[in-house]
């Protein structure tokens, strides 16, 4: 209701309706309660039923006229006339109250009903004329909630004023309310007549027949009207008979009787508002089944509860005992369910009516409802006179509720199942939906979702706010359950192996329909994404419709999926569903046939990957991400181990981190950069998580640097305190380095001493603190870690990675890979290396995969034994380390490994061959940079192309710039994983953020049509030889092919004749240039690529990360040249 005039109009009609309802129920309640207190109980019940019948009888007699006139005459004018008649009746009511005559009062009730009969179609026809269809449920809900508040007030006032001495006040109140109603009617704006030429029959019954025909001309509206009629009929029985029964059973007075009727009216109003909230503006019969079940259950409870009431116990017996509270609760639930049941059905009737007959259709509904109320009132009255006890009446109502549930299923099969699904599945799985508005996308659309459980289909069927065909594997569609429900659910059999089989469904979508598709074609075996079948990709592409991606998280650990190794199964898992905005499948129009299906398949795979990334990237910080992992995976399972015999569960990590956090809050300042000088053992992640919980920044130092470089890094990062371990300092032999740090004024926080300070009091506090993700407010923009570049091409810089950067890179890796709790990870990479920190520790910690941490990758004989003992399935390393481990390992040491993931340096063909032939393991090469958290691209078992580093991860934008004289292009990237910025030496903590978010990787790359990236070399690692650009990486690759067992490195040095020359350094004994030249000629490689000199060294210097230490190598070559000179 965005139009101001429509809002004013709506408010005016609501106020007018509320005042009318208040007057009606003031008089009705006064009559019923007055009769209940004035005549014998059996007669009081009859009077109550008669009052209800007389109030409804005019709706049966005159609704036809009322509906026709409401469409023929301008509605505001009609409403004013009706309200004037109400004022006249209020004056007559005063005389009736003075006389105290029950027959006269009953006659007055009939006249008030007549006035209401003419007002009903006007009110109900007014709403759809001025509101959109998606506003009808909310408008009716608030209108009816307000009406029931008026009913409540009328009942309370009528009951309280029903005594012989105060009855006169009822008439006076009715006059005042009628005057206010007339005033409100004159605020209604006038509009156009809906059907000015509509004839008005002389015979009111003929008018009734006409409006009933209008109602029943639409089957859906007719079915909704019949169900709605049932509720209002049984509701009238409750309101009419309860006062007499409670007086007879409990000896209740007018206060009790009024309270009970008010409770019923309030329950209907509350249910109406709940319906509006649940349906979110959708006009639907979805709530008919769950609310009908609620009414039926509560009705049986009410019937049984009445028999348990203590006779003569009065107000205390009803509101002060367990039996009485059970009755009160059951009565409220009947009314609450009724509000949820009736109001959406009324909105459905309104929405189905044509513009020129809305009032007539609603008049037909009023007639039907009135016939139901009058009919059931007469039947119950006759039953009471024949000796039927009131308890049996209530039991009969409960039985009819069961019949209404059956009717709801028969009348609205699809909507009933959707409503039941929402009522059961949403609370069962505590479902959270992000982007729910996209589930109501109109027009042609395909909803695509990952597939993790048997409940995926039923859950999404319940949530999608439109009729949708569900694409199901042909074998499943033939099953005993789905084959019977195929028509109701809209099952569309789909053979993922036969793309063209989906042609009919694609045409239906293209014509304006919707479909729900699970592109993976099967339930995931590990909880992550599986491959996309070409058949489903073809369907999505052929439909030429927007695609709404959906990601389900949580059901993979439920009891309604196949067991996943290492995944704890829960009966009530927390489920999160993320729904993306509609988007198009990016397939160029000029691609045809099989090539088009392949492109569509990859595009759909990327869409699912993006959707999974967006869902997994929802955490504010690393502690929040770990907190979610702790809840998702079994907290008592071991998460981190090390060779020292330490085995930490997620629960122990959380407790340890909470204890360290509290301690570090006392010893460090908020946001302080704290140095970390620790080995890769299980305790290190606990310290890191403790720092992050406390809102501190971990500046992870390289212990192999020596005192001077380390002091430079410390100055760059602004570090004043360093956390380290005495045992580590001693074993690493860096006592002199640490002593120098202390001499320079740095404070050393020894983990041994910190741990000793965590006594019983701190442990108790940690137990409670660990229940929350963090101890301070954290956001994704806040810095989490400072890592230092390797220094292979100059002085190290401090790379600031925010919580958001690291969380995003972990989410990107989880979206691309299937790493999960079934895996066992071995990481021997150091923590100060971004690959070791993110991929080696944080990724498995968040993905539920237990990780074995080993402190040194250089122990080539021990690492394979550790892998064998840990039964590792995944191992992370660089080419240097993988080669070293592979050569010294037994053929069985890596028997459990399913993949080795490599980064930091190019993987040589010889290393691939070694792992493939000796262990049967594929090396999956990736590419990254510390500044990117670090992973940028990665090959996977699903998509692996040798010679490349894979395709870019989700949500990474790439920009390729020409590099003059070089074959390839310079790579720039932008994405959520790209660093916050650099800390540079001498800038005193100033953060140098990448301009526009773009980071220059410094790499020269090529990218093929499928998006796979090939690294040509570093922009700085090209030599300009005689005006030609020569790749040092290409020279190294050539040498590595010839001498696969040797370590090789290419350097450029000044040359007086050609400007620069390429020198190849190798550990291969007897290596000569002529071997390189012959190999280049054989492979068709230009002679200029062949290094001009070959230098043999016993050992080439390496960084701790395994990369060649080019600055050290250059210094060694320069020193050697100087000695020769």
Alpha-carbon distances, residue 508 vs 123, 440, 496, 539, 1076 (angstroms): 39, 18, 18, 11, 63
Non-local CB neighbours of 733 within 8 Å, separated by 6+ positions: none
Cβ atoms < 10 Å from Cβ of 315: 16
Cβ contact 789:590 at 8 Å: no
Residue 490, class by beta-carbon neighbours within 10 Å (0-12 exposed, 13-18 middle, 19+ buried)? buried
Cα 726 from Cα 707, distance rounded (Å): 17
Cα 765 from Cα 775, distance rounded (Å): 12
Cα 576 from Cα 436, distance rounded (Å): 11
Considering only CA atoms, which of 992, 995, 991 is closest in space to residue 974? 995
Tokens of 256: 């009790």
Which alpha helices (H) appear in 200-218, and where do they start and end?
Answer: 204-216
Cβ atoms < 10 Å from Cβ of 3: 11
Cα 944 from Cα 389, distance rounded (Å): 79
Cβ contact 540:552 at 8 Å: no
Whether 451 is a known active-site residue: answer: yes
> Which residue among 392, 438, 451, 870 is the active-site one?
451
Tokens of 35: 């009769």
Tokens of 428: 């069962």
Tokens of 136: 């009808």
SS (H, E, C) 531-577: CCCHHHHHHHHHHCCCEEEEEEECHHHECCCCCCCCCCCECCCCCEE
Cβ contact 265:151 at 8 Å: yes
- Tell me how far the alpha carbon of residue 407 is from its chain's centroid: 34
**CB-based burial, 826-849: b 16+ in 10 Å, e otherwise:** bbbbbbbbbbbbbbbbbbbbbbbb
Cα 548 from Cα 557, distance rounded (Å): 24
Which H/E stretch holds residue 1085? Answer: none
- Tell me how far the alpha carbon of residue 327 is from its chain's centroid: 39
Non-local CB neighbours of 51 within 8 Å, separated by 6+ positions: 28, 31, 32, 35, 106, 109, 240
Cα 657 from Cα 652, distance rounded (Å): 8
Compute the radius of gyration of the chain from its Cα atoms.
39
- Dihedral in degrees, nearest 10, Cα atoms 416, 418, 419, 422: 160
Cα 446 from Cα 608, distance rounded (Å): 13
Contacts 24+ apart (CB under 8 A), 724-733: 724/676, 724/677, 724/678, 724/748, 724/749, 724/750, 724/751, 725/678, 725/679, 725/683, 725/750, 725/751, 725/752, 726/750, 726/752, 727/752, 728/677, 728/678, 728/679, 728/703, 729/677, 732/679, 732/703
Cβ atoms < 10 Å from Cβ of 1033: 18
Cβ contact 419:274 at 8 Å: no
Pairing of strands 576-579, 432-434: parallel
Beta-strand ranges (E) seen in 69-196 are: none
Packed helices 760-769 and 650-667: angle between N→C axes, nearest 10 degrees: 110
Enzyme catalytic residues: 451
């Amino acid at each position: 209701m965005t139009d101001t005039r429509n809002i004013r109009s709506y408010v005016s009609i609501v106020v007018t309706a509320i005042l009318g309802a208040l007057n009606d129920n003031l008089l009705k309640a006064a009559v019923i309660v007055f009769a209940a207190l004035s005549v014998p109980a059996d007669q009081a019940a009859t009077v109550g039923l008669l009052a209800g019948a007389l109030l409804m009888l005019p709706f049966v007699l005159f609704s036809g006229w009322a509906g026709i006139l409401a469409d023929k005459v301008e509605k505001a004018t009609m409403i004013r006339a009706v309200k004037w008649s109400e004022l006249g009746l209020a004056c007559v009511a005063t005389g009736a109250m003075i006389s105290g005559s029950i027959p006269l009062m009953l006659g007055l009730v009939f006249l008030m009903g007549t006035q209401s009969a003419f007002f009903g179609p006007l009110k109900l026809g007014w709403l759809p004329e001025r509101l959109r269809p998606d506003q009808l449920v909310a408008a009716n809900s608030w209108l009816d909630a307000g009406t029931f508040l008026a009913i409540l007030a009328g009942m309370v006032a009528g009951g309280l004023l029903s005594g012989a001495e105060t009855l006169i006040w009822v008439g006076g109140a009715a006059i005042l309310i009628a005057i206010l109603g007339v005033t409100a009617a004159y605020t209604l704006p006038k509009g156009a007549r809906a059907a000015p030429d509509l004839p008005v029959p002389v015979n009111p019954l003929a008018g009734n027949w006409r409006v009933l025909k209008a109602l029943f001309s639409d089957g859906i509206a007719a079915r909704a009207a019949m169900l709605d009629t049932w509720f209002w009929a049984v509701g009238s029985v409750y309101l009419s008979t309860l006062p007499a029964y409670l007086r007879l059973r409990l000896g209740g007075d007018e206060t009790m009787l009024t309270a009970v009727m008010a409770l019923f009216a309030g329950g209907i109003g509350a249910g109406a508002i709940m319906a509006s909230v649940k349906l979110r503006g959708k006009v639907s019969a979805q709530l008919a089944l769950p609310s009908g079940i609620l009414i039926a259950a509560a009705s049986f409870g009410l019937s049984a509860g009445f028999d348990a009431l203590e006779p003569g116990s009065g107000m205390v017996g009803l509101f002060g005992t367990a039996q009485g509270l059970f009755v009160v609760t059951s009565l409220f639930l009947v009314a609450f369910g009724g509000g949820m049941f009736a109001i959406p059905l009324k909105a459905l009737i309104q929405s189905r009516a044509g513009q020129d007959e809305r009032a007539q259709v609603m008049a037909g509904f009023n007639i039907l409802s009135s016939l139901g109320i009058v009919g059931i009132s007469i039947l119950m009255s006759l039953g009471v006179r024949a000796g039927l006890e009131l308890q049996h009446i209530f039991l009969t109502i409960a039985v009819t509720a069961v019949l209404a549930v059956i009717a709801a299923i028969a009348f609205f099969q699809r909507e009933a199942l959707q409503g039941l699904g929402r009522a059961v599945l949403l609370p069962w799985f505590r479902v959270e939906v992000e982007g729910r508005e996209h589930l109501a996308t109109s027009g042609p659309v395909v909803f695509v979702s990952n597939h993790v459980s048997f409940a995926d289909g039923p859950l999404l069927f319940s949530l999608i706010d439109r009729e949708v065909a569900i694409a199901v594997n042909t074998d499943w569609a033939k099953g005993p359950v789905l084959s019977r429900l195929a028509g109701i659910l809209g099952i569309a059999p789909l053979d993922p192996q036969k793309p063209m089989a989906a042609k009919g469904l694609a045409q239906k979508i293209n014509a304006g329909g919707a479909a729900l598709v699970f592109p993976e074609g099967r339930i995931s075996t590990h909880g992550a994404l599986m491959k996309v079948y070409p058949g489903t990709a073809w369907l999505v592409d052929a439909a030429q419709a927007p695609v709404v991606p959906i990601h389900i998280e949580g059901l993979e650990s439920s009891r309604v999926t196949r067991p996943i190794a290492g995944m704890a199964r829960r009966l009530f898992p927390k489920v999160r569903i993320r729904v993306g905005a509609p988007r198009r499948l990016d397939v160029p129009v000029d691609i045809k046939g099989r090539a088009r299906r392949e492109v569509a398949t990859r595009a759909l795979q990327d869409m699912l990957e993006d959707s999974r990334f967006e869902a997994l990237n929802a955490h504010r910080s690393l502690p929040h991400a770990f907190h979610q992992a702790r809840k998702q995976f079994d907290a008592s399972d071991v998460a981190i181990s090390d060779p020292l015999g330490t085995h930490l569960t997620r629960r122990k990590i959380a407790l340890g981190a909470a204890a360290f956090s509290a301690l570090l809050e006392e010893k460090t300042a908020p946001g302080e950069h704290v140095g970390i000088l620790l080995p890769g053992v299980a305790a290190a992640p606990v310290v890191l998580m403790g720092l992050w919980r406390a809102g501190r920044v971990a500046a992870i130092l390289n212990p192999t640097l020596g005192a001077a470089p380390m002091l430079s890094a410390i100055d760059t990062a602004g570090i004043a305190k360093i956390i380290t371990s005495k045992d580590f300092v001693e074993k690493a032999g860096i006592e002199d380095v640490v002593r120098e740090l202390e001499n320079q004024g740095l404070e050393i926080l020894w983990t041994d001493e910190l741990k000793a300070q965590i006594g019983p009091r701190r442990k108790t506090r940690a137990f409670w603190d660990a229940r929350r993700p963090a101890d301070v407010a954290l956001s994704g923009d806040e810095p989490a870690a400072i890592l230092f570049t390797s220094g292979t091409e100059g002085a190290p810089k401090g790379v600031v990675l925010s919580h958001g950067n690291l969380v995003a890179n972990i989410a990107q890796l989880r979206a691309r890979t299937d790493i999960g709790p079934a895996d066992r990870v071995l990481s021997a990479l150091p923590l100060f290396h971004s690959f070791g920190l993110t991929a080696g520790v944080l990724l498995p910690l968040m993905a539920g995969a237990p990780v074995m941490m080993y402190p040194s990758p250089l122990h080539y004989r021990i690492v394979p034994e550790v892998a064998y003992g840990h039964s590792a399935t995944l191992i992370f390393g660089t080419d240097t380390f993988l080669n070293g481990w592979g050569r010294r390992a037994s053929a069985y040491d890596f028997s459990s490994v399913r993949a080795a993931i490599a980064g930091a340096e190019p993987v040589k063909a010889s290393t691939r061959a070694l792992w493939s032939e000796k262990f049967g393991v594929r090396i999956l090469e990736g590419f990254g940079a510390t500044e990117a958290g670090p992973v940028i691209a990665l090959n996977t078992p699903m998509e692996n192309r040798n010679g490349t580093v894979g395709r870019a991860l989700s949500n990474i934008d790439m920009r390729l710039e020409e590099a003059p004289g070089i074959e390839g292009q310079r790579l720039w990237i932008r994405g959520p994983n790209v660093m916050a910025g650099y800390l540079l030496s001498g800038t005193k903590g100033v953060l140098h953020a990448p301009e526009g978010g773009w980071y220059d990787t410094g790499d020269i790359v090529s990218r093929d049509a499928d998006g796979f990236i090939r690294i040509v070399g570093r922009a700085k690692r090209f030599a300009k030889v005689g005006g030609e650009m020569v790749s040092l990486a290409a020279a190294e690759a050539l040498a590595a092919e010839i001498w696969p067992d040797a370590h090789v490195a290419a350097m450029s040095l000044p040359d007086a004749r050609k400007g620069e020359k390429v020198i190849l350094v190798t550990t291969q004994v007897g290596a000569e240039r002529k071997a390189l030249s012959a190999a280049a000629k054989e492979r068709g490689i230009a002679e200029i690529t062949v290094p001009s000199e070959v230098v043999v060294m016993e050992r080439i210097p390496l960084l701790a990360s395994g990369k060649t230490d080019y600055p050290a190598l250059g210094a060694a070559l320069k020193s050697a040249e100087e000695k020769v000179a």
